[in-house]
Structure 1
Amino acid sequence: MNKMFAIMVIIGVPVSVAGALLHWPNVLMFAVYCLTIIALASFMGRATESLAIIAGPRIGGLLNATFGNAVELIISLFSLAAGLHQVVLASLTGSVLGNLLLVAGMSFLFGGIKYKRQKFNVYDARHNSGLLIFAIFVAFVIPEIFSMKMSEGKTVSLSIGISIILILLYLFALFFKLVTHRGIYQDREARVKEQEEHEEPEWSKGKSIIVLALATLAVAYISENLVHTFESVAKSFGWSEMFIGIIIVAIVGNAAEHASAILMAVKNKMDIAVEIAFGSTLQVSMFVVPVLVLASLFFEKAMPLVFSIPELVSMIAAVMLTIILANDGETNWFEGATMLAAYIIMGIGFYLL
């Protein structure tokens, strides 16, 4: 599999550059760009896996989520510059749904096929659940409800205020987990397991950082060109901008998390797999979304923090289902299948919308 991704990168990056310079057909280049980004994401996943072994599951999961979401952030910034606000909000919705239902669902499913019962840190799960409820139920729903009685200018002002609060709370959450309460909410079994494991990283710390940096730069270039193919692809296949954002862009943008979380689950490293899925969702909703709202102020038109009703209802349903299934600190393949079924149902709905 690693050799296949390496070949895809060796072929895909030059073809992406040539196609952009020579203006090859957009539909063809859309497929090339997506496959190349997924291949680059596999290298990002391997690098962050090595860093996870060196730095521990929490920091490793955070690094994986951060570099995985860097792809999402880059694509969204170029979409903002192009004035595609609906695609941006849809891709962010898709990222939340993808991480909670697709990434976590596939991790639970494939890990559960190999192991009948998998455990992870229940304290981290409950902590993340509270933040998810805050981000989706409070920070995302309030602008939607209040904007009904507000002018566009006041809605933007409300969005700016909420965005600043979200970023500050996310930074406080990181400080809480990584500094003031690091290791306090770790159960005894997890500590013993951590001490017994002496896995060697595939790459050194220096090589992992270099690979991450180069892959992120390549993804940034390809993502800029990918954005310009959306309109042609939508017309050719009859897809709406919402479907492209929620399903296509979200899957491509989160390819690194998909690969890494599933790999960790199959190795029975559920703490890292859950940290990737939940941590990435929190980072998108509490950091990436507000950063994009603030960044939009520097473009022609500001993007308010107002999602559509279908997007909001889908995110609320995803959060509730994830909390109910994951709050006991253990999982199995059937719970993963349930989450995937929910994702497919929502995908069908957005396709037909």
Structure 2
Amino acid sequence: MKRQTVFWNRLRGKGKRKVGWVESMKNALFCSWLNVFLVFIPIAWVAHWEQIKDHNPWPPRLVFSLCFIAIIPLEGLFDWGGEQMSIYLGPSLGDLLVITLNNAVEAALAIILLTKCELRLLQSTIVGVVILHLLLVPGTAFLTGGARVWEQTLHPHNTQLNHSLLMIGILSLLLPTAFFAALDRGSQTILNGEPSFAGSTLLTDEVRADILKISRGFAFILGVIYIASRVYLSNPPGDDNALKPLPNMPDEIKEHEKELNEVEPEINPLACILLLCAVIALMAATAEWLVESIEFVREDPRGRIKEEWFGLILLPIVSFSADGVVAIVYFCKRVINHFLGRKVLVPSLLARARAIDLSIQFTLFWMPFVVLLGWIINKPMMLLFDYFELSLLLGSCFLVNYVTADAKTNWVEGLIMVSFYVMIAVSAWFYVGQPELEYFLQCATTVLEAVTNGIAAGHGEGGAAGHGEAVVGGGAHH
């Protein structure tokens, strides 16, 4: 009962300064200079609605720019609201809230793609978001944060658990893919524009149904694992361990928890919750307009950007770019202060590895969530991923686990992570995707209908089926 009493007292702000509603709204409005961009939200919405009308459409590039700018202050409000709620929730639940809020744009994007039945693009985007948070974001943080110190320290307790969570998330994708690859493929030949399934054991409704059952079962298991991991971190085994410092905790984390206990809030908890709900609603709608406005890149008749690269690299970077803009602004501010001789804070010896936590949550919670949501709304979302995409996830997971194994990082390791992400982007530029997976992920009644629709639509970009070539054993001859 002691732990519950402490939690509720903290959530109610007992012992903290009481903040009224007027003061709360005023502090939220003036919490950051980025809020000046809030005026772009109604402009972006008007631009979107005018664009979808038949008369006087706004240029897609302009709508995309307006939606992009509109998301920047919303990201800032997410960060500020999450930090304020950390004062009321404590470091463990506070970090969970901040991580969830930071995944809000990507999660909204995933749900939008699911409802539009863009399942192949959804899978590529999921992989892109995970490797972005595994490689580029922490790699950049380690590179810039460790530039003036010998090494930075990660929380050893969380790092050890993160290795296991990352691996089980990737292995959950490996098993359906191995199941699919190990099937007796037989042969499927397309002759004279007509699909022939004689002897085929691969592109069938039975195989798709089996993989969907496996995926939905795995989704439940992954959700249980993620919930159990959060319970373990927020309430370690033992008497009142949740109220004690975790073992092997770096001094920097102890100082951070001490600051949370001493700092005064700028908004009351109920007002903060309502603010975050409003920001989530605005973010979801604006993110949808952003995705729709960027279609001009995907539908470029010159075909310079393949759909695989669009999902793996472009969409994840766009969804995270608002945070990137904020980070760049503060980085430039620090550089200017350094050259002007102003006071520059000594870099923290504690490396921020929150981006890796973002990948863990996206793999163990949001990915299973969209699988189960697809089940509910009758969309065949599954955990059978493209072979190339799976190899990217395995390689990224291996590198991150290796870099963080000693719970210490430096700028060279950050450079290695960023470099590997660039390698992935270069190789993905030339990749066209796995054709038979595209047929499984179409919202058609049967696989035969999906293949027939693909031939009629001239799905040449997805693989050989669009060119009337032979698909033997489920592979494609490009």
Q: Does 1:170 align with 2:226?
A: yes
Tell me the equivalent position of 2:46.
18
User: Distance between the aligned counterparts of 2:264 and 2:306, measured in 1?
Assistant: 43
User: Distance between the aligned counterparts of 2:277 and 2:363, measured in 1?
Assistant: 24
User: Distance between the aligned counterparts of 1:69 and 1:49, measured in 2?
Assistant: 15
Is the Cα contact below 8 Å between 2:71 and 2:322 reproduced in 1?
no
The one-letter code sitting in structure 2 at the alignment partner of 1:193 is: E
Tell me the equivalent position of 1:140.
173
Tell me the equivalent position of 1:323.
401
Is the Cα contact below 8 Å between 1:37 and 1:252 reproduced in 2?
no
Is the Cα contact below 8 Å between 1:103 and 1:257 reproduced in 2?
no
* Higher percent of residues as helix: 1
Corresponding residue to 2:316 among 227, 250, 254: 250
Q: Structure 2 vs 1, CA of residues 109 and 191 (structure 1 numbering), >3 Å: closer, same or farther?
A: closer
User: Distance between the aligned counterparts of 1:58 and 1:257, measured in 2?
Assistant: 22
How far 1:39 sits from its partner (Å)? Answer: 3.5
Of 95-104 and 197-206, the range deviating more from structure 2: 197-206
Matches within 5 A, 1:313-352: 313-352=391-430
How far 1:201 sits from its partner (Å)? Answer: 6.3
Secondary structure at 1:301's aligned position in 2? coil
How far 1:230 sits from its partner (Å)? Answer: 4.3
The one-letter code sitting in structure 1 at the alignment partner of 2:306 is: S
Q: Structure 2 vs 1, CA of residues 120 and 57 (structure 1 numbering), >3 Å: closer, same or farther?
A: farther
How far 1:333 sits from its partner (Å)? Answer: 1.5
Q: Does 1:156 align with 2:234?
A: no
Q: Structure 2 vs 1, CA of residues 293 and 269 (structure 1 numbering), >3 Å: closer, same or farther?
A: farther
Corresponding residue to 2:350 among 256, 266, 270: 270
Tell me the equivalent position of 2:384.
306
Tell me the equivalent position of 2:164.
130
Structure 2 residue runs of 5 or longer lacking an equivalent are 1-30, 52-57, 184-201, 332-344, 432-478
Alpha-carbon displacement from aligned partner over 1:310-352 (angstroms, at most 9, x marks no partner): 2111111111111111121121222111111111111122223
Corresponding residue to 1:204 among 248, 267, 279: 267
The one-letter code sitting in structure 2 at the alignment partner of 1:108 is: F
The one-letter code sitting in structure 1 at the alignment partner of 2:47 is: G
Matches within 5 A, 1:46-195: 46-52=80-86, 55-136=89-170, 138-148=171-181, 149=183, 151-181=207-237, 182=242, 183-187=245-249, 189=251, 192-194=254-256
Q: Structure 2 vs 1, CA of residues 61 and 255 (structure 1 numbering), >3 Å: closer, same or farther?
A: farther
Q: Does 1:6 align with 2:35?
A: yes
The one-letter code sitting in structure 2 at the alignment partner of 1:9 is: L
Q: Structure 2 vs 1, CA of residues 204 and 30 (structure 1 numbering), >3 Å: closer, same or farther?
A: same
Secondary structure at 1:204's aligned position in 2? coil
Secondary structure at 2:147's aligned position in 1? helix
User: Distance between the aligned counterparts of 1:251 and 1:27, measured in 2?
Assistant: 16
Larger RCO (CA under 8 A, 6+ residues apart): 1
Is the Cα contact below 8 Å between 1:261 and 1:277 reproduced in 2?
no
Structure 1 residue runs of 5 or longer lacking an equivalent are none
Secondary structure at 1:32's aligned position in 2? helix
Q: Structure 2 vs 1, CA of residues 100 and 261 (structure 1 numbering), >3 Å: closer, same or farther?
A: farther
Q: Structure 2 vs 1, CA of residues 351 and 15 (structure 1 numbering), >3 Å: closer, same or farther?
A: farther
Alpha-carbon displacement from aligned partner over 1:50-69 (angstroms, at most 9, x marks no partner): 33455444333221210122
The one-letter code sitting in structure 2 at the alignment partner of 1:8 is: F
Secondary structure at 1:228's aligned position in 2? helix
The one-letter code sitting in structure 1 at the alignment partner of 2:36 is: I
How far 1:195 sits from its partner (Å)? Answer: 6.2
User: Distance between the aligned counterparts of 1:247 and 1:75, measured in 2?
Assistant: 14
Corresponding residue to 2:62 among 28, 32, 35: 28
User: Distance between the aligned counterparts of 1:337 and 1:261, measured in 2?
Assistant: 17
TM-score w.r.t. length of structure 1? 0.88
How far 1:210 sits from its partner (Å)? Answer: 3.8
How far 1:243 sits from its partner (Å)? Answer: 2.0
How many residue pairs were aligned?
Answer: 348
User: Distance between the aligned counterparts of 1:67 and 1:297, measured in 2?
Assistant: 25
Identity among equivalent positions (%) equals 24
Of 47-56 and 176-185, the range deviating more from structure 2: 47-56
How far 1:93 sits from its partner (Å)? Answer: 0.7
Q: Structure 2 vs 1, CA of residues 257 and 287 (structure 1 numbering), >3 Å: closer, same or farther?
A: farther
User: Distance between the aligned counterparts of 1:171 and 1:266, measured in 2?
Assistant: 37
Corresponding residue to 1:240 among 306, 323, 335: 306
Computed over aligned residues only, the root mean square deviation of the Cα atoms, in angstroms, reads: 2.9
Of 51-60 and 323-332, the range deviating more from structure 2: 51-60
Q: Structure 2 vs 1, CA of residues 90 and 269 (structure 1 numbering), >3 Å: closer, same or farther?
A: farther
Is the Cα contact below 8 Å between 1:61 and 1:279 reproduced in 2?
no
Q: Structure 2 vs 1, CA of residues 246 and 42 (structure 1 numbering), >3 Å: closer, same or farther?
A: farther
Is the Cα contact below 8 Å between 1:49 and 1:201 reproduced in 2?
no
User: Distance between the aligned counterparts of 1:180 and 1:196, measured in 2?
Assistant: 19
Of 157-166 and 15-24, the range deviating more from structure 2: 15-24
